[in-house]
Structure 1
Amino acid sequence: MAYFSISIHQWFRQSSRSLPWRKTNNSYKIWLSEIILQQTRVDQGLNYYLKFVENFPTVFDLAEASEDQVLNLWQGLGYYSRARNLHFTAKLIVDQYDGVFPTAYKDVLSLKGVGVYTAAAICSFASNLPYAVVDGNVYRVLARYFAVDTPIDSTIGKKVFQDLADELLDREQPGNHNQALMELGALVCTPKSPDCENCPVALMCQSRKEGTQLSFPIKTKKIKVRKRYLHFFVFCVKDKVVLLKRDENDIWKGLYQFPLIETDSEILSGDEVQNRFGDITAITDITLKHQLTHQTLFATFHRVFVDEYQTLKGEILVKNIDLIDYGMPQLLIRYMEDRDIFTL
């Protein structure tokens, strides 16, 4: 075990990336980075982290912001529940902890949007507390190093890998140890093309000895992908368009969108349009495919040009040049940029 820890520490000092959240022990900024990096690559999350720190340098600033401001800044990052949880938790920290980020593991774990991995990361990185992190990178490194054939997505597997991580943890430098292990998975022990020649623990890696690196980690569950057919109606009212905020407990909650009809197939009937909007002349524009983790979206955009529009409940008229101020799903941003709707 000492060989493993010493080896990854030495490698980390020489080969790790220079990232801003690694240069601070500020719990707020570390928490911010961890929430942003959930389900997000570092190269994508970095700019969002910098934007959030610039706009909300303290937890007080984030707590005082409106949800629209937070969602607009998060725009394009996906998994918007993270942004809502971030905002909710900032207000809770201000109200219940007087703006001082909690340091005890049980208190950090109790925060909305924080799970076992994130709590361990925050506590070890910010306060050097001895909690081992187990994320996707760690699962992969440990599964290959020990050739563990227990599925990582099983209840038993989660316990097996957490126990392994706990046993390996350098309790004098838990923060550095966790960072090194995660970085090893991100840069060297990658999913499809592991760089075994430059791996600091290759000598003792069981799967490398057996030539079975790509067989690990093992998963049992297959993701079921649901198809959804969305028909967006872009009402162009001179230099304005119609928007409404999504408030149902679904994807993109809290973001703005065009009026929508969702169907069970790609076919949209005239009766459905009539029942929703009355007599309108719509021009079908384009269909875009958008892949989410568990859903495949087929979004068809229909243009409707009118001189005036009577907004319904929840709808607003927004000038094209002001659309940039409204948090919208990346799918709609793609469409508007392609059609120059921001500047029409």
Structure 2
Amino acid sequence: MSKLHNATDFQRRVVSWYDQHGRKHLPWQQDRNAYRVWVSETMLQQTQVSTVIPYFERFMARFPDVTALATAPIDDVLHLWTGLGYYARARNLHRCAQTIASTHSGEFPNTVDALCELPGIGRSTAGAIVSMAFQQRAAILDGNVKRVLTRLHAVDGWPGTTAVQKELWQIAEHYTPHERVQDYTQVMMDLGATLCTRSKPQCTQCPVQDLCAAHAQGTPTAWPHSKPKTVKPVKAAWFLMLQLPDQRCYLTPRPPTGLWGGLWCFPEFTSSAALDDWLTQQGYALDLREDWATFRHTFSHFHLDITPVHLRTSNVINAEEQGQWVQPHLDEALGLAAPTKRLLEKLRS
């Protein structure tokens, strides 16, 4: 790692750049409070701003404050999250809102340590809430800031390791100011999102180009170092799409934790034979099934090859109490797993 630079000079440069070029009109920057910062930071984890904006606006319209979120059914929350992915974020938002409502009288704690005790809030999100909502000094280290600081000091190693994380937090703490901390926090995210991008950094426009060790070495995109590659395993699943004459399809809820936790999906089987066994038990004729083309859905740690099986029937199955019959256009407010939403759209068309 290169030597740390003068913090005051660094702060002055980046905040001056923010005054001229920073983003100041994002939805969560308007009427800013702890709740809006928290929701936006959670949505922005591993998701781009352009994707998040419409989700954030719909979410705020339905859940304008933490009490509204805390008292809402989890299905309503997951429904508005459908398509954003990483659904544990939505479940944690709901649990955290309930904790804030019940334990903190609906008010967010204003310290990093207290916020980190809440479900789903990590150190960087807590720092964003404290600095941007309460305007108190707190460092952040989201993906954009990691990239900026890793290049600034040519920090070796994958940022996902404990040792590199510790080093980056020390750097982040060094540069975080006491004054204008709200603007400083925003500009550090802006630099990573707009200039110090992953593949095409615009170094000539960067206010700290001459301080950047990665730029000095001529290979800024060599940092941050990539995660050591591993081969993702491939798993298989068969989704059963039962459909009644009135077009309704049968969906079942997933367990509250684990893969697609709490979301609604087509009944899933680990093999074609297991699906056939279930159909036989329910009294369906196996020759009515129609296998659609297999497609792949990729998670962070494995690939899932899904074979949809379509079966038209007039028989309302015995297990109806476990699920719901819904129209493909889905008027019901249900949180859907992405492959389920995709298949419903195909059935509708």
Question: Which of 58, 67, 73 lines up with 1:51 in the alignment?
Answer: 58
Question: Which of 98, 103, 107 lines up with 1:96 in the alignment?
Answer: 103
| Secondary structure at 1:252 match in 2 | coil
| Secondary structure at 2:236 match in 1 | strand
Alignment of 1:1-344 (within 5 A): 1=6, 2-17=8-23, 18-222=25-229, 224-239=231-246, 240-247=248-255, 249-263=257-271, 268=272, 271-278=273-280, 279-280=285-286, 281-312=288-319, 314-322=322-330, 325-340=333-348
Single out whichever of 68-77 and 225-234 deviates more from structure 2: 225-234
Can you list the C-alpha shifts for 1:165-190, whole angstroms capped at 9, x where unaligned? 11111121222212111110110011
1:22 offset after TM fit, Å? 2.1
| Secondary structure at 2:292 match in 1 | strand
Aligned residues: 335
Distance 1:325 1:246 in 2: 15
Q: Is the 8 A contact 2:326 2:332 kept in 1?
A: no
Q: Is the 8 A contact 2:251 2:265 kept in 1?
A: yes
Letter in 2 for 1:175: Q
**What TM-score do you get using the length of structure 2 for normalisation?**
0.91
Distance 1:90 1:262 in 2: 36
In structure 2, the gaps of 5 or more residues are 1-5
Distance 1:162 1:189 in 2: 19
1:223 offset after TM fit, Å? 5.0
Distance 1:9 1:116 in 2: 23
| Secondary structure at 2:179 match in 1 | coil
Distance 2:329 2:226 in 1: 47
1:89 offset after TM fit, Å? 1.1
**What TM-score do you get using the length of structure 1 for normalisation?**
0.92
Distance 1:220 1:298 in 2: 24
Distance 1:110 1:123 in 2: 14
In structure 1, the gaps of 5 or more residues are none
Aligned residues: CA RMSD? 1.8
1:224 offset after TM fit, Å? 4.9
Distance 2:324 2:213 in 1: 61
Distance 1:41 1:28 in 2: 20
Distance 1:10 1:211 in 2: 26
Can you list the C-alpha shifts for 1:76-134, whole angstroms capped at 9, x where unaligned? 11111111111111111111111112212221111101011111111111112211111
Q: Is the 8 A contact 2:328 2:345 kept in 1?
A: no
1:274 offset after TM fit, Å? 3.1
Distance 1:95 1:116 in 2: 22
Distance 1:334 1:114 in 2: 31
Distance 2:46 2:227 in 1: 20
Residues 150 and 260 of structure 1: is their aligned pair in 2 closer, same or farther, counting only changes over 3 Å? closer
Identity of aligned residues (%): 32
Residues 285 and 128 of structure 1: is their aligned pair in 2 closer, same or farther, counting only changes over 3 Å? same
Distance 1:273 1:47 in 2: 38
Q: Is the 8 A contact 2:147 2:192 kept in 1?
A: yes
1:262 offset after TM fit, Å? 2.1
